[in-house]
């Protein structure tokens, strides 16, 4: 730092630029998803991680005990980067529902959960969606909620996640 009038060559009049080595990083820059603080506001990639949309819908919202309930999961890449890996973990009340099958073979199942390591079985490009179905057998009368949590790995290495839930009424 040096105080002088006028500004000497190689110095700037404002000290708000947080990276003198990069012309694209400055207080007037637009924040992009690149793991850097492009606009020098102290936050990195703000707004960039809201790029995965997950919905889960019961295709038959009411089922008799012993019947199969089918849920459709929709995972959508609403960002600008490819999803190189999509993991999904479906959880449910094991006293009310039992995993039956899905349109994508899970990597593992347990009492009250099902897990898929690479559910899309490849890259999910921007503006693309991936749909798959999960069928669960209704065990007891009542209302239950089951939730799917989706974690994605983007081509820049970041890992945002989202969840989707669906209600199901089981009748006698």
Q: What are the 10-residue block averages of pLDDT along the chain, 172 residues in total?
A: 66 73 85 74 65 87 89 90 91 93 96 95 94 93 87 81 80 76
Is residue 105 a contact partner of residue 163, using CB atoms and an 8 Å limit?
A: no
CA atoms within 13 A on the CB side of 122: 4
Q: What is the pLDDT of residue 10?
A: 67
What pTM value is reported for the model? 0.70
Q: What is the pLDDT of residue 20?
A: 79
Is residue 68 a contact partner of residue 59, using CB atoms and an 8 Å limit?
A: no
Q: What is the pLDDT of residue 14?
A: 66
Q: What is the pLDDT of residue 43?
A: 73
Sheet of 142-154, strands arranged across: 62-64, 161-171, 142-154, 83-91, 113-116, 108-110
């Amino acid at each position: 730092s040096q105080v002088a009038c006028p500004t000497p060559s190689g110095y700037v009049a404002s000290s708000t630029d947080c990276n003198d080595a990069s012309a694209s990083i400055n207080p007037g820059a637009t924040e992009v998803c690149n793991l850097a603080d492009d606009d020098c506001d102290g936050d990195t990639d703000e707004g960039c991680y809201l790029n995965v949309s997950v919905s889960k819908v019961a295709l038959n919202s009411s089922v008799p005990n012993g019947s199969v309930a089918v849920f459709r999961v929709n995972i959508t890449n609403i960002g600008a980067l490819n999803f190189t890996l999509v993991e999904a973990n479906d959880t449910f009340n094991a006293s009310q529902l039992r995993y039956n099958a899905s349109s994508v073979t899970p990597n593992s199942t347990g009492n009250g959960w099902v897990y898929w390591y690479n559910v899309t079985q490849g890259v999910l490009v921007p503006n693309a969606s991936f749909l798959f179905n999960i069928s669960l057998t209704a065990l007891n009368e009542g209302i239950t909620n089951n939730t799917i949590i989706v974690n994605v790995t983007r081509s820049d290495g970041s890992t945002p996640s989202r969840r989707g839930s669906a209600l199901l009424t089981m009748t006698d």
